[in-house]
Amino acid sequence: MPETPSTPADLLAHLVAIDSANPDLVPGGAGETAIADHCGQWLAARGFAVHRLEQRPGRPSLVAVAHGTGNGRSLMLNGHLDTVSLTGYDGDPLAPQIRDGQMHGRGTYDMKGGIAAMMVAATRATAAGALRGDVILALVADEEHASCGTAEVLRSFTADAAVVTEPSNLEVTLAHKGFAWFDVDIAGRAAHGSRPELGIDAIVKAGHFLVALEKLGRRLAQGAAHPLLGTGTLHASLIRGGEEPSTYPAHCRVTLERRTVPGENADSVEQELTALLDHLSATVPDFGYRLTRGLHREPFEADPEALIVKALSRHAHAVLGHPPVVRAEPYWTDCALLDGAGIPCLLFGVRGEGAHAATEYVDLASLDHLTDILTATITDFCS
């Protein structure tokens, strides 16, 4: 059995020392197997029924359940086991160091701190065995890339509510943006550079599209804003085209990202881009295109009157001594998948800094506060 930690910080130190870099982001990355093994043993030793889901070999997610006595509300706590790359970290990313009330190391903030807090909180809340509802811990793979872990969990498990323990500076996060990726392939015609009458320059044609894209971005910025998230945004991420200096390029691809707010989705973005490109086809000579939708995730917005939002906010107020700040995040999280599956949820996690950065740390006092808030929320919601 794994060594028994006495505090969330002790457990976090164990988790940080396990390499769980996402191999979809880092070729040869360790993945989630070792950390899932550790967490599974830790939870099983404390009476949780541990289910291992591994549709993709080497990319396991765990669902650990403490069954209630019956006729109570179930609560899922969700957090991801994977981290981004260890390369480029300032120091040893797998050797947690405590300085000035902060623990430094890869994943301390994003988000092994949240994992440690929810594991300890669930253990404390269920120790007496008096809860009526089930407590469900979803420790998932792959959130840093395509969220295959939470998607796999939701095919087999549900709950009456959920809390995602991504870092939020102990602020109640009730909304976040979505995103949609698109490829725009712009057609030209190859010809020798000395024969302009035969060639169509796909890169030059792409320039018309990039100018139109910039204008669309300005219109979005001036449009109606979501009260927490502001407006959607748009940028060109990649451009590829051409063969050599002496040839008219027959093809140019622009990859773009559109960040969406509630009320927008991948379908509405595709319609927006199609209208822009059709206008260019009608007004720019020899402009031809193909639009292809890539990975997309929808935005998220919680109901502020949901029982789980009210319960967690109440206990956050009690622990922190003041009403928690209500906020939104510009980045995407697994909250959107949970909400899409009909599970009311919110995001609430630790203070710290350095997600995906060369240095990363969690404020240890916030880790204790998070554990206390989650413990009280579980006990309240599942009683």
Asked if 147 and 193 sit in the same domain, the reply is no
Residue 245 lies in a domain: yes
Are 305 and 281 members of one domain? no
Which of 281, 297, 313 is the C-terminal boundary of a domain? Answer: 297
Q: Which two tokens stand for residue 192?
A: 């020798």
Query: Is the pLDDT score of 2 beyond 60?
Result: no
- Indicate if 38 and 77 belong to the same structural domain: yes
Please tell me whether residues 49 and 168 are part of one structural domain. yes
* 3-state percent helix, strand, coil for the chain, nearest multiple of 5: 30, 25, 40
CATH of the domain at 229: 3.30.70.360
129 and 16, same domain (yes or no): yes
Task: Say how many domains are in the chain.
Answer: 2
What is the rounded CA–CA span in Å between residue 190 and residue 252?
Answer: 12
d(CA 125, CA 115): 15
- Same domain? 172 vs 182: no
Residue 55 included in any domain? yes
> Quick one: pLDDT at residue 129?
84
Same domain, 136 and 47: yes
54: exposed, middle or buried (C-beta count within 10 Å: 0-12, 13-18, 19+)?
middle
Question: Is there a domain that residue 3 lies in?
Answer: no
Residue 84 belongs to a domain: yes
Question: In degrees, to the nearest 5, what angle opens at C-alpha 349 toward C-alphas 164 and 357?
Answer: 105
Residue 6: the pLDDT is: 67
Q: What is the mean pLDDT of residues 35-46?
A: 97
Query: Sign of the C-alpha dihedral, residues 299, 305, 306, 307?
Result: positive
Domain containing residue 321: CATH number: 3.40.630.10
Q: Does residue 56 have a pLDDT over 80?
A: yes
| For residues 200-209, average pLDDT | 98
**Positive/negative CA dihedral, 197, 202, 204, 209:** positive
Task: Please report whether residue 315 resides in a domain.
Answer: yes
Alpha helices in the chain (DSSP H): 8-16, 33-44, 113-126, 148-154, 202-221, 266-283, 307-320, 335-340, 364-382
pLDDT digit string, tens, across residues 122-161: 999 999 888 999 999 999 999 999 999 999 999 999 999 9
First-last CA distance in the chain:
30
- Alpha-carbon distances of 254 from 3, 97, 200, 363, rounded to whole Å: 51, 43, 17, 41
Q: Band of the pLDDT at 377, cuts 50, 70, 90?
A: very high
Distance CA 305, CA 322 (A): 19
Same domain assignment for residues 268 and 139 = no
d(CA 375, CA 122): 6
Buried b (16+ CB within 10 A) or exposed e, 114-153: bbbbbbbbbbbbbeeeebebbbbbbbbbbbbbebbbbbbb
- Which of 248, 273, 297 terminates a domain? The answer is 297
Q: Is residue 268 part of a domain?
A: yes
Element of type H or E holding 75: strand 75-80
Contact yes or no for 173/327 (Cβ under 8 A): yes
Q: Which of 275, 297, 319 is the last residue of a domain?
A: 297
* Cα–Cα separations (whole angstroms), residue 16 to 87, 111, 335: 15, 10, 24
Domain match, 29 and 166 both: yes
Distance (Å) of CA 133 to CA 71, 184, 382: 7, 49, 5
**Residues of the chain above pLDDT 70, percent:** 98
* pLDDT tens figures, 314-351: 999 999 999 999 999 999 999 999 999 999 999 999 99
Task: Note whether 260 and 361 are same-domain residues.
Answer: no
CA atoms within 13 A on the CB side of 5: 20
> What residues contact 375, with CB distance under 8 A and at least 6 apart?
120, 121, 124, 125
Q: What is the CA radius of gyration of the chain?
A: 24
The domain containing residue 18 runs over which residues? 8-176+299-382
pLDDT (mean) for 24-33: 96
- Going by their DSSP bridges, the two strands 345-347 and 326-329 should be labelled as unpaired
Classify residue 338: in a domain, yes or no.
yes
Closest CA to 347 of 132, 180, 177, 179: 177
Please indicate, yes or no, whether residues 235 and 138 belong to a single structural domain of this protein. no
What number is the average pLDDT over the span 174-189? 98
Residue 1 in any domain: the answer is no
Q: Do 155 and 97 share a structural domain?
A: yes
